[in-house]
């Protein structure tokens, strides 16, 4: 019987990704994988996953200097202003309705 850990490892790799690379890209990837004692698959997956997480984080987290942070917080804390034209627009049916 397969252990839960082995099953989890197996289940984690059910998707397949394919890509095309130039000979120089392939060579660089193979050399880097060998230098890090990883398979090409492990190296590419690790590198792509780290880049994906970085790209996602760039859209979820942002850094501001203290002055800009203060202005940002003040804008969030400002009282809500009535916007009658926006209210009217949002009450109209959209083209998607």
Domain ranges of the chain: 19-91
Buried/exposed code over 63-93 (b: 16+ C-beta within 10 A; e: otherwise): eeeeeeeeeeeeeeeeeeeeeeeeeeeeeee
78 pLDDT exceeds 90? yes
CB atoms within 10 A of CB 55: 9
Give CA–CA dist 76/81, Å, rounded. 12
Q: What share of the chain is helix, strand, coil (3-state, %, to 5)?
A: 65, 0, 35
Minimum mean pLDDT range among 3-12, 18-27, 82-91: 3-12
pLDDT over threshold 80, residue 2: no
Distances (CA, A) of 42 to 3, 39, 52, 78, 92: 22, 5, 15, 49, 52
pTM of the model: 0.53
| pLDDT tens string 28-63 | 999 999 999 999 999 999 999 999 998 898 787 778
């Amino acid at each position: 019987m397969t252990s839960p850990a082995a099953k989890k490892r197996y289940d984690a790799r059910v998707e397949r990704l394919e890509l095309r690379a130039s000979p120089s890209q392939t060579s660089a990837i193979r050399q880097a994988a060998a230098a890090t004692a990883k398979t090409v698959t492990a190296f590419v997956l690790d590198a792509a996953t780290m880049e994906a997480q970085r790209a996602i984080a760039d859209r979820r987290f942002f850094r501001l200097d203290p002055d800009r942070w203060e202005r940002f917080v003040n804008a969030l804390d400002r009282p809500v202003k009535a916007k009658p034209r926006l209210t009217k627009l949002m009450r109209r049916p959209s083209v998607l309705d």
